[in-house]
C-alpha cells in the first residue's frame, strides 16, 4: 500500500478532485439506477394487482 | 442435455426465472466492486507517468466496454423481436437501453475527468469521443422512439430498426483509435498481445469489468420484470400473481 495517511489517500497525489469526481458520480448514478429499477418493479406489481382487482387500466 | 431454452422465451416463465437469478447478480456486483476497488486503490501502484489520476480507468474502461457490449446485445434482442415476433425479446431490448445509456454517460464523464489532467482538456471532437457521444444519442433515441409510439408492438418494431441501424457505430467506436489519428490512446489490453500495463492494475480493471457485467445483468433482469408486468397485465398468470 502506498498511502501514508488518510489525507494522502484523499489527495490522490493531487488528482483527488478528478478521481473522486469520477468515482463519486459513477456510484451515485448506479445507486440511483438500482433504486429506480427496484421501485419500478414494485410499482408495476402494485398496478398489476390493482388491474386484476378492478379489471381496468386505472 | 434436454434443457429447453424456448421454455424461457415466454414472459410467463421468464418472469419468475429473472426473479430467482437477479439476487445472485446483485451479490456478485457488490462483492466484485468491493474487491475491484480494494485492488484499484490499495494494491495497484501509482502510475509513474499519470500519477494517481490513472485510477479513473478502473471505472472508465469497464463502463466504456459495457456501453458498446450492451448496445450489441440490445440490438440483437431487438432484431430477434423483429424477426421471430417474440414479445420477450423486445422487452429485453427495452430493459437494456437505460443501463446502456448510463454506462455510456459514465464512460464520457469519467473520460472527461481523466482527460483534463492527462491531456489538458475535458473534451475533444476526435473520432473516439465523438462516436461514443453518438452512442449515447442512439440509446436516448431508441428509448424516446419507443416511448413516443402508443402501441407497444409497433414501438418495438420501429425502435428495433433504429437499434439495428445504429450497430454500425459500435465497430466505429472500437476501431476509431486505429482508423484515425485520435487524441484518445489505443487499447492497452488486447487479445493479440500482452497487455501494456502492470499486472495488479490489469487485475483490478478486470475485476471491475466483471463487477459492471454483474451489475448490468442484475439491473436488466430487475427492469425486465417490471416491463413484463406492465405489458402482460391482461394475462391470466399476472392476475394469479396478484392474488398470491
Confirm whether A20 is domain-assigned: no
Query: Which of B8, B4, B33, B15 minimizes the C-alpha distance to B95?
Result: B15
* Nearest CB to B233; choose among A34, A37, A51: A51
Confirm whether B1 is domain-assigned: no
pLDDT at site B7: 63
Question: What is the domain range of residue A38?
Answer: 25-58
Question: What is the domain range of residue B53?
Answer: 15-243
Confirm whether A57 is domain-assigned: yes
- Does residue B234 surpass a pLDDT of 90? no
B194, exposed or middle or buried, with CB in 10 Å at 0-12, 13-18, 19+? exposed
> Is B42 part of the contact surface with chain A (CB cutoff 8 Å)?
yes
- A48 contacts on B by Cβ (under 8 Å): 229-230, 233, 238-239, 241-242
Confirm whether B147 is domain-assigned: yes
Confirm whether B8 is domain-assigned: no
Give how many domains chain A has, as a whole number.
1
Confirm whether A5 is domain-assigned: no
> From CA B112, how far away is CA B115, in angstroms rounded?
5
Give A2 to chain B, closest Cα distance, Å.
Answer: 7
* Nearest CB to A13; choose among B46, B105, B109: B46
What ipTM, to 2 d.p.? 0.90
Neighbours of B131 (CB within 10 A): 20
Beta pairing partners, B47 = B51
Distances (CA, A) of A15 to A25, B36, B46, B52, B193: 16, 20, 12, 6, 31
Confirm whether B183 is domain-assigned: yes
> Is B19 part of the contact surface with chain A (CB cutoff 8 Å)?
no
> Is B219 part of the contact surface with chain A (CB cutoff 8 Å)?
yes
Dihedral pair phi/psi, residue B9, rounded to 5°: -90, 0
In the structure grid, which three cell numbers stand for residue B190, read together?
488486447
pLDDT at site B1: 47
Coil, strand or helix at B221: helix
Give how many domains chain B has, as a whole number.
1
- On whether the CB atoms of residues B126 and B180 are closer than 8 A, the answer is yes
- On whether the CB atoms of residues B110 and B56 are closer than 8 A, the answer is yes
> From CA B97, how far away is CA B139, in angstroms rounded?
6
Confirm whether B135 is domain-assigned: yes
Confirm whether A6 is domain-assigned: no
Confirm whether A1 is domain-assigned: no
Interface A-B: count of C-beta contacts within 8 A: 101
- On whether the CB atoms of residues A57 and A51 are closer than 8 A, the answer is yes
pTM summary value = 0.91
> Is B52 part of the contact surface with chain A (CB cutoff 8 Å)?
yes
Low-confidence ranges of chain A (pLDDT < 70): 1, 55-58
Task: Give residue-wise pLDDT tens across range B109-126.
Answer: 999 999 999 989 999 998
Confirm whether B7 is domain-assigned: no
Confirm whether A56 is domain-assigned: yes
* Nearest CB to B226; choose among A34, A44, A53: A44
Confirm whether A39 is domain-assigned: yes
Confirm whether A58 is domain-assigned: yes
> From CA B175, how far away is CA B127, in angstroms rounded?
9
CA B128 to chain centre: 17
> Is B186 part of the contact surface with chain A (CB cutoff 8 Å)?
no
Amino acid at each position: 500500500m502506498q498511502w501514508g495517511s488518510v489525507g494522502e489517500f484523499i489527495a490522490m497525489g493531487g488528482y483527488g478532485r478528478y478521481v473522486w469526481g469520477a468515482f463519486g458520480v459513477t456510484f451515485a448514478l448506479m445507486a440511483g439506477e438500482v433504486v429506480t429499477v427496484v421501485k419500478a418493479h414494485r410499482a408495476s406489481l402494485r398496478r398489476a394487482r390493482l388491474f386484476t382487482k378492478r379489471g381496468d387500466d386505472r | 442435455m434436454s434443457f429447453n431454452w424456448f421454455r424461457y422465451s415466454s414472459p410467463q416463465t421468464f418472469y419468475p426465472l429473472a426473479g430467482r437469478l437477479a439476487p445472485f447478480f446483485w451479490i456478485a456486483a457488490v462483492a466484485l466492486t468491493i474487491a475491484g476497488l480494494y485492488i484499484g486503490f490499495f494494491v495497484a501502484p501509482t502510475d509513474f507517468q499519470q500519477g494517481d489520476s490513472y485510477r479513473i480507468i478502473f471505472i472508465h474502461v469497464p463502463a466504456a466496454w459495457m456501453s458498446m457490449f450492451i448496445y450489441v446485445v440490445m440490438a440483437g434482442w431487438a432484431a430477434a423481436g423483429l424477426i421471430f415476433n417474440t414479445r420477450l425479446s423486445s422487452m429485453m431490448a427495452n430493459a437494456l437501453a437505460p443501463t446502456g445509456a448510463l454506462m455510456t454517460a459514465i464512460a464520457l464523464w469519467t473520460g472527461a475527468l481523466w482527460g483534463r489532467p492527462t491531456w489538458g482538456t475535458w473534451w475533444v471532437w476526435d473520432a473516439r469521443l465523438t462516436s461514443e457521444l453518438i452512442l449515447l444519442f442512439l440509446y436516448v433515441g431508441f428509448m424516446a422512439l419507443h416511448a413516443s409510439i402508443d402501441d407497444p408492438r409497433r414501438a418495438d418494431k420501429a425502435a428495433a430498426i433504429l437499434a439495428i441501424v445504429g450497430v454500425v457505430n459500435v465497430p466505429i467506436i472500437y476501431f476509431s483509435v486505429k482508423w484515425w489519428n485520435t487524441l484518445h490512446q489505443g487499447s492497452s489490453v488486447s487479445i493479440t498481445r500482452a497487455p501494456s500495463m502492470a499486472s495488479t492494475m490489469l487485475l483490478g480493471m478486470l475485476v471491475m469489468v466483471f463487477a459492471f457485467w454483474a451489475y448490468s445483468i442484475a439491473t436488466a433482469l430487475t427492469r425486465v420484470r417490471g416491463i413484463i408486468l406492465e405489458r402482460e397485465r391482461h394475462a391470466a398468470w399476472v392476475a394469479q400473481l396478484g392474488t398470491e
